[in-house]
Amino acid sequence: MARDKSSHSKHEVSEIVAHSQAMRRVMEKTARLAPMSSPVLLRGEPGTGKDVIARAIHAQSACAAGPFIKWSCDYAASEQTLLNLLQQQQETAGIAEKRHGTLFLSEIGHFSLPMQKCLLHLLLEDEYRSLDGRFQLPCSLRIVCATERNLEQSVAEESFLPELYYRLHVATINLPSLRDRHDDIPQLVANFLQRFNRKNHLNLSITRDALAPLYLCRWPGNVRDLENCLEYAVLNREGDEIQQLPCLGERCLRQQLNDKVSHYSRQMKGYPQGKGHIIPVKPEPDMTWDPCAPLPQVLLPAAVTEGRFANHDAIRHRFIVALEKSGWVKAKAARLLNITPRQLYYALEKLQIEVKKF
């Protein structure tokens, strides 16, 4: 459990980047739901910013003057923990005395069925009822829940209550992956560098060309992955201006680490065949993650503005990086981008990309 510090939460909320259409929709829905008392469910992949959006809901709600209390359900999903949270203790007042605050349950997918029943009753009756039914505790907190789990599958497997599933989905905000918000990448990078410079008393910058590989990555960890990548880049820089990310001169850090994990995964899943030998097992797909593997499709621009695609710099960057990674061999670049050579030729012409000749 963690209570927010007002300066910290305001800092996070003020740094929300919403230049992309996907994030603008999120912020519009956040502003619409925040003033209401209804519980809100946040859904999204790891690292998409569910914690920050929960704080944004709190900051724009009638509960803003009250406490923001985060409960990580994946670490503490027992009734005793919830009782400690709600009951008034001798040393400190429990949540029952904290009116008009926000309780953020960070991973409700880890709740047991009995705890789900407690949460459902809390949402329906604004009071907590113990599992043994011996007592009840009033609670007027605004409830915000979050999960990265597949709740539909959990309901089908009978590990998640259908009633709770339906109740939570009355007000839901789906957070987009970083793959779906390329327009936000430049500002996310700028925010990271600003924080890093402030903490370390530096004045680092990054060139626009150096950002190009970021548009090709799949980012399984989303913004969290992006920050890890950038921190690795600034720690391995050669000067105060980053002109090239390490992944162009060497393999991606995450891919290197995944290969190490994959090595031990194959050993653990292998079968002994004589002393010191194992039969390797094909690694799981996630273990062989390739940051520059093709996305499902590349959306090609349909029109030209003043001889250039004014609003498609991200797409142009993706094509350039694919060409660089394939040694400017167009057939290889087309395979990397998961498009046909003819589509590649068309895009190069429309995007005015001159292919280097060696």
For the record, the structure tokens of 26 come out as 């999120």
pTM given for the model: 0.71
Greater model confidence, 354 or 170 = 170
For the record, the structure tokens of 200 come out as 């370390």
pLDDT confidence of residue 92: 41
pLDDT confidence of residue 353: 86
**pLDDT tens profile 321-340:** 888 877 888 888 887 777 77
Can you give the CATH number for the domain in which 194 is found?
1.10.8.60
Indicate if 260 and 220 belong to the same structural domain: no
Can you give the CATH number for the domain in which 312 is found?
1.10.10.60
**pLDDT tens profile 11-57:** 467 789 999 999 999 999 999 999 999 999 999 999 999 999 999 99
Indicate if 46 and 126 belong to the same structural domain: yes
Nearest to 176 by CA among 239, 110, 222: 222
Of 176, 191, 226, the residue at which a domain comes to its end is: 176
Of 265, 288, 311, the residue at which a domain comes to its end is: 288
Q: Using CA atoms in the order 53, 56, 61, 67, what is the torsion angle rounded to 10 degrees? A: 100
pLDDT at 284 over 60: no
pLDDT confidence of residue 335: 79
Indicate if 90 and 125 belong to the same structural domain: yes
* Calpha distance 149→159 (Å, rounded): 12
Of 118, 142, 176, the residue at which a domain comes to its end is: 176
pLDDT confidence of residue 19: 94
**pLDDT tens profile 134-175:** 666 677 789 999 999 999 999 999 999 999 999 999 999 999
Assign 351 a pLDDT band (cuts: 50, 70, 90): confident
pLDDT at 297 over 70: no
pLDDT at 269 over 50: yes
Indicate if 162 and 126 belong to the same structural domain: yes
Indicate if 277 and 304 belong to the same structural domain: no
Indicate if 170 and 72 belong to the same structural domain: yes
Indicate if 13 and 40 belong to the same structural domain: yes
Indicate if 10 and 147 belong to the same structural domain: yes
pLDDT at 270 over 60: no
Indicate if 101 and 171 belong to the same structural domain: yes
Indicate if 307 and 347 belong to the same structural domain: yes
Indicate if 269 and 317 belong to the same structural domain: no
Maximum C-alpha span of the chain? 80
Indicate if 25 and 153 belong to the same structural domain: yes
Can you give the CATH number for the domain in which 91 is found?
3.40.50.300
Residue with tokens 């087309």: 334
CB atoms within 10 A of CB 284: 12
Domain count of the fold of the chain: 4
**pLDDT tens profile 230-249:** 999 999 998 999 988 887 77
pLDDT confidence of residue 20: 93
Residue with tokens 């660089």: 324
pLDDT confidence of residue 157: 94
pLDDT confidence of residue 77: 55
pLDDT confidence of residue 358: 55
* Calpha distance 284→218 (Å, rounded): 17
CB 147 within 8 A of CB 108: yes
Q: How far is CA 216 from CA 124, 200, 243, 271, in A?
A: 45, 29, 17, 37
pLDDT confidence of residue 79: 59
Of 113-122, 183-192, 318-327, which gets the smallest average pLDDT?
Answer: 318-327
Q: How far is CA 57 from CA 27, 42, 70, 104, 153, in A?
A: 10, 11, 13, 10, 27
What is the domain extent for residue 328? 293-358
Share of the chain above pLDDT 70, in %: 72
pLDDT confidence of residue 277: 43
pLDDT confidence of residue 73: 79
Of 59-68, 147-156, 211-220, 349-358, which gets the smallest average pLDDT?
Answer: 349-358
